[in-house]
Structure 1
Amino acid sequence: MPDVFRGASSAQRTTGLQERHVISNSMRRALVLCLVLPLLCMSAAAETVIISVDSTNLRFTPSEVTITEGDEVRFFWSGQALPHNAVAKDGFFDTGEPERAVDHTVEFPVGTNGTYDFVCEPHESVGMVG
Structure 2
Amino acid sequence: MRTDPAQEALHKLELTISHLLRIGVLLAGMFLLIGWLWLWFANGSLLGSFTVYESKSLFETIHWALLTNDRPMVISILGLILLVCLPVVRVFLTGVLFVKQKDFRLAIMAFLVFVALVASFVLGIDL
TM-score range, shorter chain: 0.3 to 0.5
Larger gyration radius, structure 1 or structure 2? 1
TM-score (normalizing by structure 2)? 0.32
Higher relative contact order (CA 8 A, sep 6+): 2
